[in-house]
A and B are shown apart, each in its own frame.
Chain A
């Protein structure tokens, strides 16, 4: 994984004399005290993280946590008070005006919470704005604008004015405007917060679809835990201008750094985030098909279970046997092949627990988690499905 952006010890203080405030911060004086004493607001306080190429990096936090300030530092709409921001290894904080303009024109594009569309321009001219700033010829920029509008599902709406579109469609224009520029990095500042819940959900899924196609690096801001964990490859949780924890959604869920994070993830709907691979057990004990029925009984007895999955040498799943059948088979002199059954459910590791819930309550055997080549990756028992939800 190549690193796209690296932020080192970033501080953003608003107001006059910000350098003096910096010293106070270093001494450990809190944000609140500084605001009271000097009137300076500390937006971001000594933050470091990196964003990898092609990932969706979500910065999550409540309002006032500094997340919007932080994302605006990445394209220098906010000039950092201290710290470094490396883009592909180059410190962009040092850029002069001209370099900065070129950087913004080519490398990064932003989507805004309240869309920030130009109300005096048509949808098409809005989408073409970035190219217009770059000085692309009219034909070319309108062609690209139309194509991009098509990508976001707004083909044929180019002649309309933004106010004629619904909120969700307006944000699609915002997204098209950013994508038309073909930037390396997409900055999205609470892009779906102003939308209705249903439309928000559609837009989240569509963003993931579009991301599959365009493969950009995305930095995404949200205050919504469910949204963060749904679309984020990695999530950074911010509080009071600092990053409290960074990790994949699973890491944060299974290993919250402190009480604050625990509080945060309490009301999250885990069944939509936890996948089969997160709740499955290692597939042991197992019966290899060369093993005899006596071995099977011994395995089941020592582990106190009543059924056993059977695999071949390559751990490919062959079937399942129950303890009753096995005892009978030994009495009647039958072989493994006579009693093996396939009356169980399988699932792939990426299936969300939500979808496993009805199966888990129905089946009398564990659920087998297999990959595409039918190799047994793990097993899920009913208890572990339910355990994954709390």
Chain B
């Protein structure tokens, strides 16, 4: 049998291990502060979501669905929410949403500037592309491990892992959108002596907005998908229900929690897509 020679073995895993441990040992103050910050945001968002009366949420989603898409959409979305409530999963749904919303906000705050940087610099794009590929294809369990080591169990490593997974489309589509702005339009702005900031804020970003909105939709959907896995490291929510159902081989519980996740995903997808559609600029 052919064996790969031992002498060529590179123990990259070991180096990463050493690196993560080094980080934890030497930068624990920084990570603690980061953890507290993220936790504060998630908890407050959850507080607000949990405080909202259930009927108000249902009416709100109905109106949004109606206004953004059509009347039947509003009815279907609110019926879906009613189902989730009737499964007894309302509060868990809000916990899940809190993590999703936090992750999406962080993803956009970091992702859009990185996307702009990539659009401006071919070098940055060349460097970022493989990293983005890695973030999207690396099995998410792999970065759950360092997330737990750095942030311990709970909501914060959940947000961290979700953000890493969901940030890629925000970056990619921002880059794509800015690069896609008509060259002549940017040239025109330049020919009038506009500064780089003026071009970015008044020409490129408004032109890129529809595509960036699509990126936001994608980011939201990916965050939703990741939140289930994040429950394995203690981020309580709909995902943890699924996890419990698996452990107990409880088909009923699994079905209900699974359906609830699907319903929320559909509602968020259709609403963000509908909003993105409104930003389209007729050419």
Contacts from A to B (Cβ < 8 Å):
75, 77, 100-106, 108-110, 112-120, 129-130, 132-134, 161, 163, 177, 181, 187
Contact = CB atoms under 8 A, between A and B. Distances in A.
Contact of B182 (A116, A163, A177): A116
B184 A120 contact: no
Interface string B176-205: 000000101101111111110010001100
A110 B188 contact: yes
Contacts of B188: 110, 112, 116-118, 177
Contact of B198 (A77, A102, A133): A133
Interface of B: 182, 184-185, 187-195, 198, 202-203, 206-207, 281-283
A113 B182 CA distance: 13
Contacts of A116: 182, 184-185, 187-188
Nearest to A103: B193
A108 B185 CA distance: 17
Given A116-B182, A116-B185, A133-B198, A110 B281 contact: no
12 contacts: A103-B193, A104-B191, A104-B193, A112-B188, A114-B184, A115-B184, A117-B188, A118-B188, A120-B207, A132-B202, A161-B282, A187-B191
Given A118-B203, A120-B206, A130 B192 contact: yes
A115 B283 CA distance: 13
A119 to B, nearest CB: 5
Contacts of A100: 193
A101 B187 contact: no
Please provide the 5 A-B residue pairs with the shortest distance between their CB atoms, ordered closest to farther. Answer: A104-B193, A105-B193, A116-B188, A116-B184, A110-B191
Q: Which of B188, B189, B203, B282 has the most C-beta atoms of chain A within 10 angstroms of its own C-beta?
A: B188
A56 B191 CA distance: 20
B184 A119 contact: no
Contacts of B202: 132
Contacts of B281: 119-120
Given A112-B188, A118-B203, A163 B282 contact: yes
Given A119-B281, A120-B206, A101 B191 contact: no
Nearest to A75: B191
A77 B191 contact: yes
A177 to B, nearest CB: 8
Contacts of A187: 191
A108 B188 CA distance: 12
Nearest to A100: B193
Contacts of B182: 116
A133 B282 contact: no
B187 A112 contact: yes
Nearest to B192: A130
A224 B163 CA distance: 56
A218 B192 CA distance: 16
B183 to A, nearest CB: 9
A112 B207 CA distance: 18
A85 to B, nearest CB: 15
Nearest to B194: A133
Nearest to A112: B184
